[in-house]
Structure 1
Amino acid sequence: MTSPTRVIVLWLPDWPVTALLRSEARAAARPVDGVAAAAADPDDAPIAIMHANRVVACSASARREGVRRGQRRRDAQGACPRLRLVPADPARDERAFSPVLTRLEQLAPGVQPLRPGLCAIRARGPARFYGGEEQAASALLDELAACGIPDARAGVADGLFTAEQAARLMSPASIRIVPRGASAAFLSPLTIAALNDDDLVALLARLGVQTLGEFAALDIAAVRDRLGDHGARLHALAGGSDSRPVVPRVPPPELAREVEFESPLELAEQVAFAVRTTADDVITGLDDAGLVCTEVRITLLDDRGGRSERVWLHPTCFDASALVDRVRWQLQATLEGESGAFGGENGGVTLVRIEPEAVDDTAHHQPALLGQGPDERLHHAMSRVQAMLGHRGVVTPLLAGGRWLGERERRVPWGDAERPAHPRDLPWPGSLPQPLPSEVYRPLRPAAVAASDGSPVAVDERGGMSAPPALLDGRQVAAWAGPWPVIERQWDPARARRAHRFQMVDTDQTAWLLVLEDERWWIEGRYT
């Protein structure tokens, strides 16, 4: 069997909680439509990350109040009534951990992520560079502290398993070094729960085996016959014979590019011209990696400390000219009026950063053998028109949620992903059922609805009608249905809204959708 490799393991406790707080802090620092989001919870707020109705991670303040990993939701809330419960999100944990790995690779190349919040590095190279294993581990912990993670722990031992257990047994910002050849003695008093195998732990407990040392003392042949290869591997771990190698990750290519201007630029066209070379560099880097960009983040900084950041999407993939267009449109969106200057309350642009957010394999975007087809030609034509008219010069109508027909129609700039303010899949009590009118009036058209004697038709607070509708703008009403109340925001006097809908058919067999609000009649749509 191969002898274990000397390994440094770094453990970042409660990483799912840390990842949550970091993502919320980033979201709070990024303005949306000029308004900053609410601040993230403070570090001492009790938080529990839940999966399958059980706690998988919790903050230090939650542990102080009795919350533990593995607890059911009800038990955790009973121990801490003010506990904030958040669903587990492995993707969020991975995204937050990736920048940490990048920082560590700057000090010690060859980092292997074991899972979010836990990583390993071969000890030989860093120990030689920093003058010893303890000095190398200390340098890595200092780097983590500079990243805002002061409670990380380090373990140095023969093999990944032993080094991980050494890190987990330490206090915050401390290092545990297990001497060469001493892994078995170090692991011997630890509980068998360290193997992280519930079925095996339950079986060994019934057999009276409580520690790793007792498990390692069992005959390997008997363990293999009873537990198979999996049990034999765990037996080797318990005895300190972890022969797994450290497999460094391949760092992703650096695709982001930025350009700084010594003299701030105030005109949008000046900035767009200056970033052409940077946009070409972004596309060249993607081509070298065999990738294309379908989503890009553009960040602009000005000389007064202002910041504009936005994620742009593309229905196929970006080229250099499309990136330049997005920079120009983002600048134009910050303008006041149509002067074309970036000034006003903002300063001149000092930095532009173009960072691909989502990439795809180039093979998925190769043109067809006999032409690119009508969809691709349509996209290029719309993109050219959009480049001439501006970002919102070409829009696509989409159906969103809402109670009113005008709210349900959302116009999204060509190429942007659908991000409705009112999702369609939410319940909308009072919304109009199918079939919907074929023509929607924006704004609503005023109308006059009267009874047979010429008096206006009204509806009281209980939904009772003063008289059946007989005339619609002077035309006879052949049939009608309603009223159907639409009540919104009763708790907010400033935005409360109460109205009644009607459907009417005139003698020309034209069907209308009408609204009675504040004793006034409006036509909302027409059926054909």
Structure 2
Amino acid sequence: MAVPPVRVLVLWCPDWPVVAAGLAAGVSAHLPAAVFLANRVVACSAVARTAGIRRGMRRREAQSRCPEIVVLGADPGRDARLFEPVAAAVEELVVGVEVVRPGVVAVPVRGAAGYFGGESSLMELLAEHVPTRTGVECQLGVADGLFAAMLAARRSALVEPGDSAGFLASLSITELEQPDADRGDLVDLLRRLGLRTLGDFAALTERDVASRFGAAGVLAHRLSRGLADRPPHRRRPPPELSITEEFDPVLDRVDAAAFVARTLATKFHSGLAARGLACTRLGIYATTEQGEELARVWRCAEPLTPQGIADRVRWQFEGWLRAGEGVRPTAGVSRLRLDPEETVAGHSLQLGLWQGSAGAARGLGDEPMLAAERAGRAFVRVQGLLGPDSVATAVLGGGRGPAERVRSVPWGDRPEVSSEPAAPWPGRLPAPSPATVYTGQVPATVLDESGAPVELTERQRLTAPPYRVAVEDGPERQVLQWAGPWPVTARWWAPGRQGDKARVQVLLDGGGREQGDLALLLLLEEHSNPLWTVEGMYD
């Protein structure tokens, strides 16, 4: 059904992740800068783009093209926190502000345009008001529907009513791939089929699109035609779907709010799922101890998962609690309410035929719930009893040593890789990795056949083969086999850098003991006094 979309105004802050990171780090806007995640560019400034930096580029390639580029880390919480003053500035003039994502807000046009004398006057007013209040540059666009309005904002365009399809027709098919909607595979397939523009895709019949590309393709096809992404849901969500929580003591720290958000998100999502619904517009309403009312609505292109709900609550609390003087609330939050402002049918979240529990498969009457979901709920309950750090997920990243490659992330936080595991990493220890990695230093003594300490030469070689090893104050053991060294030279260009490091694998004789031979990973750090430590132990 062709649903006429409503008129929407979108305010877009270009390169917002870079702008937010630069503001937090005190980096000048005139310097080339880029935000990296897993050693790839996720956003870059206009100055960096003139030097040839592009999204998806590896960090090494970006630094080779622009050696002076400022490297910044990705932080969604920081982006949301620093964007809250921008959303508040828009809200000073227009009601009904919805945050699409940090850097993008959408507002309904109809009422505000009538009050301020037309859509063009409204755009001019906001374009002057927001930079004056926040110091952040922005672009605005108006069109029928959120998707067309977002693309209009990137071009500072006002698309006349009914002309959205014509405006979209000449744009590249890659415009379907938005940060809040993962359509990379679909866009790649459409390009390989010869569909280069949104108009090419819109010219196909909806029946053909549905039979070839499924529900995701139908949604993208509607957007390409300038239609609403989904039919309007006239039924107002019942009040019992909202969830309210009282806090004593009050929430005045972001980490405590993030922990509470995970529990509430799971409960909120379960209530919707029980009625076959999913939330696409989330209202977050808070009351402080002093009676201050805080409110924000988050709009999402796809139905929100429990993780997505928790993320948005955490981001919003960062924006409220870490705002500047005179903007942030004067007291902690004593009451929080989550409202499903807009819901859609949750059929896309329904379990597959063979994804039920083992009990259900055997006819034992157990409800069809994924094992991962049951485990997740148990982990959240453990965190509620013992604290957010009591359950952690090991995330494998890049690095040279085994301890550098693994970091623990509290359960419920997004397990983002901080460094690319597949990068070259010169000096990386070859497989297999040790089964046990020690967190503290376990000193060791490594001697050669003459009894002299084994050290590292300037050419990154051992002064002599290891012959005997003593761990801490234990007895010396003879080395049966050894391999290495694997040298690590870090920050060789930096003045006052630390000494070099090298790793050595050794197999020690058990000496007739019951425990048998012992395989260790030893680390030699070259300082004023060379230091050997046990970094890991092999099974």
- TM superposition score category, shorter chain reference: 0.3 to 0.5
TM-score normalised per structure 2: 0.47
The structure with higher relative contact order (CA 8 Å, sep 6+) is: 2
Instruction: Give me the TM-score of the superposition, normalised by structure 1.
Output: 0.48
Larger radius of gyration: 1
